[in-house]
Amino acid sequence: MKIIKKLDIAKNYFSSLQEVIFVPTMGNLHAGHIQLINVALKKTPNVVVSIFVNPTQFNDQNDYINYPRTIKSDLSILKNLGINSVFIPNEEELNISNQEFSITLNNQDFGLCEKYRDGHFEGVVTIVSKLCNIIKPKYLVLGKKDYQQLHVLQKYIQNFCYPIKVLPVKTVREKNGLAMSSRNNLLTASQLEKASELYKNILELSKQCRSITNISKSEKKFTQNLIAKDWNIEYLTVRSQKTLLHPKSSEKHLVVMIAAKIENIRLIDNIEFCIN
C-alpha cells in the first residue's frame, strides 16, 4: 500500500491512474467508512482514500482537538481492505493558513446544520475541492449519514462543472440503530444506548408522515418526545430530498433529518422515505 504525504508526489502518482474513485475521510475508520470503500472497490482497484482532519470545518476548537485520531489502526484497516494508495496531507501541504481566496456558499439558508455550525460547509467544500483537484477522481464516494453535506457537495460539483460523479452510500448503523460515526467513540456505554432513541423516533416519524398536511404536527410531537428525554434538539424536520427545503404539496420523496446533543456530543441522522 502506497502512503503519500507530499503534494508533488501525490499529483504525479494520481495522474498515472485511470478512473480513480476517491473516498475522503478524517480517519478514525469504522464500519461506515468500510462500506464506502467496499462500494468503491466494486468499481475499480484504483481507490484513493484520504485521511485529513480538516480544521476549517470545525467551529468549536475543542471539538477539533478532541476528534479521534487513530492513524495506525486506520492504515491497518486500509491495508487489509486492499487499498493501493492513501493520501495523508498535512495543513501546510494543503495551504490551510495562507489561503488568499475563500469559498462562499450562496442560497444555503436551510435552517439546518449551517445555522449551528457557522463556516462548516465552506470548510468541507474547500478541502474536498482541493483534494479533488490533486487526485482528479472520476467518482467521489460519500455517505448519506451526512445528508446536508452530501447535498452541498453534489451541488458544488454540479455548479462548477467538475467531471466527477458522486456515488451516495446508505448509512451503516450500530446494532441499536444509531448511525455509525466517529463521534460515537466519545459516548459512554449508557449514552450509546440512549442514543438509539434518535433513530427510533425519526423512524417512527417517517412512518407517521402519511401526507404533507400532517408533517408539522408530527415534527412537533417527536421533538417534544426527545426533549422530554433530556435531548437538546437543534432541529428535527422533514424536508425534500431534492432541495432540502420544506416540501411542496406535490413532492413525494422526503427525508427526516435530526441534529441533537447528548450532553455536549452532537449527533446527526436522517431517514429517506416516500409518502402517498
Contact 219, 238 (CB under 8 A): yes
Sorted by sequence, the CB contacts under 8 Å of residue 89 that are 6+ apart come out as 5, 7, 10, 50, 52, 131
Catalytic residue among 30, 33, 120, 151: 33
Q: What is the CA radius of gyration of the chain?
A: 19
Across the chain, the runs of DSSP E, i.e. the strands, are: 2-4, 21-25, 47-51, 85-87, 139-143, 165-169, 232-240, 253-262, 265-274
Is 246 designated active site? no
Query: Cα(266)–Cα(7) distance, rounded to whole angstroms?
Result: 33
Query: Cα(224)–Cα(24) distance, rounded to whole angstroms?
Result: 36
* Cβ neighbourhood burial of 66 (10 Å; 0-12, 13-18, 19+): middle
Query: Cα(29)–Cα(184) distance, rounded to whole angstroms?
Result: 12
Task: Give the catalytic positions in this structure.
Answer: 33
